[in-house]
Structure 1
């Protein structure tokens, strides 16, 4: 017998038990570990969900139009670039994000990548395992007293800034949309940020306006030997330009947790560059963040559905 309860589609294979406990009035449909866009469309056609919790994959216009009962798309995280917001608006479907739920996790990953770049952690580890002892020849970068430029001053950027200040770094930042910025972050324009930063960390969403923000031109304006960290979205970086800048030494090292195409293809040239430190977009993937994001995503969609129910009763 088919259920009469409304469905919620989760574009993943699981959801935190704490989040599921909030959704007992619904049938939960999982799309699997790595759902394609067409997988999501097919599940929308089959189950007509009232809500979609987006963890992996893309929710495009076809999926949105395949679910007549859809009222809300709730991101299991902060970035909504994998959701067709134009199509959602046209269908009067709300898009909500779990803003700040993974801020600690992502900021810590960004700092880990920055430290790994500055201290050559992966390279020295590999050398030690190969039997080398490079104490007489190696020189790391000391971050104290240096300037880090942050692009994006939301919850993640501000949390990263606090860690950088604890390392005695000067913190400058650019964010045309931030309304409340702590006084110890110097807000600057992009030209100043490129020119003065010893390290740059990206913490902004991907939009049509900032796609390829870090490119040949902007990298050329940076200090020689700059360190680059990206835990935001791969589309913010012109990957070919970054690779060339690393190979010439203009960028001393880069720590990347997000990429233009994910998963990274097997023959991606980043794989062969020792001074590019890679992690598989796991900045927000911790046991704590998994629960926080699941709860926030569930609470956000329930709030929208309650509002819709109240409006229907009027």
Structure 2
């Protein structure tokens, strides 16, 4: 180890100041803005952290093996698919997440993407800047009275559902783990989402079972002209199938904040595609969410370490 204090490794370049203030008894080591797997393994080997706060990159078995003092891996956010949870369980390392800390931010991003798709915000803006006035020829989609289908009804999905309900939309949702849902969400089987929704919005974690959930077959079962919004995980969508569905008009438009490979490289097939609105996985990146996620990630990790201390 490089210091007398036990180490918190942050797989990012920073952490909110109030979160850092909670970690005064630890040395905090940063992995940088875009750490590779090798970077994280090397820092684990060098510093033997007792805790890792995961912002970017992946924490796999090799990183855990390089840190024999590691007790907890704490996600700076809600999705833990970048952490090898099976390896952590085998090593007795607790995995925790800041569930709900960025719910408002991500739900608002989903709403923004849905509205941008329905109202052609991006294309009309580009046309206006080019000197066009399309009032006589353009018609947007009115969302009031239409059905939005949500896959995933956790903190983010329910927050988005509340906003959609306030707009006069019918809200249906699928989540086998959700309980005590509010009255404005009608739980339905997954097949009903594809069949009945005018807008499909994804709010579920990525698992081996739902990878490529939106694929050629499921997209074909959707209403023609459906709008797709994904602020969850890129692996939920078969990107080649989505491009084909956009080209055929089966999907009228899509708003995506997350992708199978991040960051998106130059020349990606999505770039320049009409009716496809892209944002760089920033749904949860607001000042408030940054603070909330940092505090939750630090507190969650400290709680686990405290339990280890008491048990010892």
Measured against the shorter chain, the TM-score band is: over 0.9
Query: Following superposition of structure 1 onto structure 2, how do residues 120-135 of structure 1 map, counting pairs within 5 Å?
Result: 120-135=120-135
Question: Which string of whole-angstrom CA distances, capped at 9 and with x for unpartnered residues, describes residues 179-231 of structure 1?
Answer: 23112100000111100000000000000000000000000000000000000
Query: Following superposition of structure 1 onto structure 2, how do residues 60-71 of structure 1 map, counting pairs within 5 Å?
Result: 60-71=60-71
- Distance (Å, rounded) in 2 between the aligned partners of 1:40 and 1:7: 14
Aligned partner of 1:293 in structure 2 is 293
- Distance (Å, rounded) in 1 between the aligned partners of 2:164 and 2:201: 11
Q: Which runs of 5+ in 1 are unaligned?
A: none
Runs of 4+ in 1 over 4 A off after TM superposition: none
Aligned partner of 1:158 in structure 2 is 158
Aligned partner of 1:218 in structure 2 is 218
- Distance (Å, rounded) in 2 between the aligned partners of 1:67 and 1:180: 41
Q: CA deviation at 1:294?
A: 0.1
Q: CA deviation at 1:177?
A: 1.2
Would you say the 8 A contact 2:201–2:228 is kept in 1? yes
- Distance (Å, rounded) in 1 between the aligned partners of 2:255 and 2:74: 29
Q: CA distance change for structure 1 residues 2 and 117 in 2, over 3 Å: closer, same or farther?
A: closer
Q: Which runs of 5+ in 2 are unaligned?
A: none
Q: CA deviation at 1:178?
A: 1.1
Q: CA distance change for structure 1 residues 2 and 51 in 2, over 3 Å: closer, same or farther?
A: closer
- Distance (Å, rounded) in 2 between the aligned partners of 1:274 and 1:286: 28
Would you say the 8 A contact 2:2–2:47 is kept in 1? no
- What TM-score, normalized by structure 1, do the two folds share? 0.99
- Distance (Å, rounded) in 1 between the aligned partners of 2:5 and 2:90: 26
Q: CA deviation at 1:2?
A: 4.8
Aligned partner of 1:268 in structure 2 is 268
Describe the SS at the equivalent of 1:269.
coil
- Distance (Å, rounded) in 2 between the aligned partners of 1:269 and 1:242: 11
| CA RMSD, 1 decimal | 0.8
- Distance (Å, rounded) in 1 between the aligned partners of 2:94 and 2:24: 22
Describe the SS at the equivalent of 1:229.
strand
Question: Which string of whole-angstrom CA distances, capped at 9 and with x for unpartnered residues, describes residues 269-296 of structure 1?
Answer: 1112021100000000000000000000
More displaced stretch, 262-271 vs 21-30? 262-271
